[in-house]
Chain A
Amino acid sequence: MTTPQTTFDGRAWSPCLACLAGALGLLAVVVASFVYLSVSWGDLVSMESMRLMGRFIAEFFPPDLSASFLARTAEASLQTLAVSSIGTLLAALVAMPLALPASGRFGRLSRAASRLLLNVLRSVPELVWATLMVLAAGLGPMAGTLALAVHTAGVLGRLFGETLENLPPTAERALREAGAGPVAAFGYANLPLAAPQWLGYALYRWEMNIRMAAVLGFVGAGGLGQMLYFHLSLFQQAQAMTVLLAMFVLVVGVDAASGWLRQRLTPARG
């Protein structure tokens, strides 16, 4: 008779030791993390703290919808919208010239140098840039704009450069061989191919930045974040709830606008 105990490749069933060790290691790391933080989780889920938490949440409702407060919220929303838009625009303007060396057009040395610069810009988060910019530019929305611009320039520069690297080289070569100068060849061959993708990346970053711009106010960079921080500090939860709702509306609105622009301005791809 046959031996049904062995599987197709002839191996008898045996526990995967590496998987077991990996799972145990993961469990150990997670447990160690919880222990290291020494948060008294028991107190957190006790009846008393649950009751307090419930009361805290209940204080957020109903949101403050008085006309004067709505007007102030609308003003802050416009400021946040402006910070995210101008920040993204500035970032795109800075990223374009940085993308040229980053795509390796001017030799290996300038490629490495520009990539290092872009990496440094990118790896410091927006909120950290914002604390630095508040020192340089003072409290207010300009600090937030600059912080967004600096971080986003790092991200967009890398993406723009990669776009340039991935373009088909044939169009530019054809123009160059027909006698066009390097600037004309780039402008008429590469730029039209790269522009829709660049625009798409910029719009995508705008969607991310509207979320960030709403948060940057926590360190004093104006807009909705500053309002939220202010009202939560004074334990005015009803007002905070209005600001949270405004953030939500703004994010959804920008997502819709960006999607519409992307459809209108960038050609459909197959």
Chain B
Amino acid sequence: MSRANNAIFPLLVAAALGVGACGGAGKTTVAVPGTASKTAPPAPPSTSAADSLGPRPEPKPPVPFVPPAPQVLEGPGNSKVWLLERHALPLVTIALVVPYGSAAEPADKGGLAFASADMLDEGAGDRDALAFSKAINDLGAKLSSAADRDSSIVSLEVLVSKLDQALPLLADAVVRPRHANKDWTRVRTLWQNALKNRAHEPNEVARVVTSAVYYGAQHPYAHPPDGTLTSAKKVQLGDISKWHKTIWRPDAATFVVVGDVKPDAIGASLKKAFAAWKVPAAAQPPVVTPGPASESNLRTFVVDRADAPQVVMSFARSGPPASDAVFPRLNMLNLALGGSFTSRLNQNLREDHGWTYGVRSRFNSQRGAGMFVVRAALRADATAPALRETKKEIDKMRAEGLAAPEIDKVRALLNGEALETYGTLHGVAGSLASNAALGLPPDQDAKDLASQRSATPKDLATLASSYLDVSSVTLVLVGPKETAIKALADSGLPKPELVDAEGRSVAH
């Protein structure tokens, strides 16, 4: 249910999971964390007569969960505060978000928003980078920052007893960053090294290249939010400072606060800590809402990874913006198609054929024109049949929509996912921050579930026929060149263009 599918949610989750030096029972070395081992053989025969275990219990339908809406308060400098109180633990998570991300960057400075977020904790106010890091760590707090296509975010997680000491640090990071040359030199080098590492990670390469070739060079969503090797070299410290001043303004910002605090107290604490944060004289920059990618025919691209044991398949077609009324219901189609373990694609490619450890699809949640993406790392020799089966499954859903039991399953899954999201502070904060960034209302999560619960089979069939046409997708294969080209030819697909790990054309 959560729309937080961009950088924001993983950031908050990663921060929350960053148990670091913590001892205790939860840290036994895990060989295969979070990886279920669920590949299955042909079905064994069915039941016998007397059974001590008794019949399988039929679960009672759960009470439909309605996500609570946050209170909306006035924050410092015309900012908004979305507050959801949670008093079970003495913790608070604050996510401060503005609706400016990589889509709003100058065309030749890809990664500016990302690098700017990276510089947020590199010294601020009276503290240099080391002193700032020390001050945060002294409190046992966690401060993290990120940028995705549509937004920039900085988040603070802290014991509530340390909140009043931590808030001025958050405020300094936003209002008085130092942006020292020495720190930028280091951050830039680490960033460029990370981009070199990215080129070795096939799933990352597939992500970067798919957006690049699907949207096409000049589109604001084409370049990766973390930039490219070329664009990273062009970003200068002056650009960072200018960008920071432009986007971090209170009248564009939302504080999402979740945890053990009361409205009056948190309102006063924020106003005190952010007293120096004023609305600048310059007009608020426009929020960028990119239009759709230009129409195109079926196109194929190959990124060569010689000797790789797998071929990563990734393809894209258009999807609606996150604010479109159909968006939550498209998520229902997606859960049934490739968004869950028992989805049709995962059952086919993984469980029936063993071609992949998992296939996933999704409608990207974006302020502007969206994208429907399917991705899987395939056994190299199974690329052609996997492409065929993927197309077959999608065409089938497009033609027939969802059957009633599948709709029930999807509704149950959405209910379960909502409970999981609202079961942790970082889950709630991630979801609300994403809604705020995309210009959606505070109670969007409840609205989504209501829309999903009222969808009829006919509604979903209509959507499937409009949004699951994959006859003219942009398809990317990352793997050994010869294998990939042969798989495309065997599947009757067009001859590919060879591109590098960032989607630039390379000579044949």
* Chain A partners chain B: no
Interface residues of A (CB under 8 A from B): none
